[in-house]
A = this chain, B = another copy of it.
Amino acid sequence: MGLTARVGVTPGRIRHTVAFTLAHAEGSPDERAFLAAASRLAEIPGVEAFELLAEVSPKNAFRFGISMEFADQDAYESYNAHPDHVRFVEERWLPEVADFLEIDYATR
């Protein structure tokens, strides 16, 4: 996974992103296990253009990012309500993420 080339313009889509840091030590098995679990969010229906990223700016403290796109607001809401997403948030995100910020972009 990683940065990708982009083509075309598609109004109506939503790009859901979250920058985050983990409670785990850098390079630890716990970190790897979390990132592996996070990458499986890509399998939830409606998730497109999924990317698990490194945050590299010295201007903030976040170390990772997730970016995904949805065709529309309905697809985004279905993802949020999907049992696999709800379970991930409860069992992995809340206990293992130290800080995060969600930023969502749409065409303007």
Interface pair A2/B60, CB less than 8 Å apart: no
Output the least CB separation between A41 and chain B (Å).
Answer: 15
How many chain copies?
2
Interface pair A54/B108, CB less than 8 Å apart: yes
Residues of B contacting A54 with CB < 8 Å? 105-108
Residues of B contacting A4 with CB < 8 Å? 6-10
Question: Which residues of A are interface residues toward B (Cβ below 8 A)?
Answer: 1-11, 13-17, 19, 49, 51-57, 59-60, 62, 64-65, 67, 69, 101-108
In the assembled complex, 10 residue pairs joining A and B whose CB atoms fall closer than 8 Å, in A order, are: A1-B9, A2-B108, A3-B14, A3-B107, A4-B7, A15-B53, A53-B108, A57-B104, A59-B101, A60-B102
